[in-house]
């Protein structure tokens, strides 16, 4: 739930899938997403995890498959994608 503090939105945003399980959770400080950002598959397993700093993606962001295996890591710096590594095995 968001509140207004010093003229800017602030608070933790939590969204749920139709089945009631957690879908997305993040915090807004000073009107921008700031801190840990996490999304979940409908099963409840983590789907995406990363960090925002003042509204910009920062550091390593990890994407997980439906069983919890890391399938991608993205490296961010001040909202700029520097590199993306995929760990999905391709069938031949």
Q: What domains lie within the chain, and their CATH numbers?
A: 2-86 (2.20.110.10)
Per-residue pLDDT band at 10 (split at 50, 70, 90): confident
Do residues 8 and 24 make contact, with C-beta atoms less than 8 angstroms apart? no
Q: How far apart are CA 70 and CA 61, in angstroms?
A: 10
Q: How far apart are CA 60 and CA 87, in angstroms?
A: 14
Q: What is the pTM (predicted TM-score) of this model?
A: 0.86
Q: Which DSSP state fits 89?
A: P
Do residues 27 and 35 make contact, with C-beta atoms less than 8 angstroms apart? yes
Q: What percent of the chain clears pLDDT 70, i.e. is strictly above it?
A: 95
């Amino acid at each position: 739930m968001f509140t207004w503090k010093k003229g800017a939105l602030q608070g933790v945003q939590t969204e749920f899938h139709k089945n009631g399980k957690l879908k997305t959770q993040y915090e807004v400080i000073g009107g921008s997403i700031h801190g840990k950002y996490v999304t979940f598959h409908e099963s409840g397993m983590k789907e995406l995890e990363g960090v925002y700093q003042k509204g910009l993606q920062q550091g390593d962001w990890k994407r997980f498959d439906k069983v919890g295996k890391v399938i991608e890591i993205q490296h961010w710096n001040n909202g700029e994608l520097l590199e993306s590594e995929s760990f999905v095995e391709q069938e031949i």
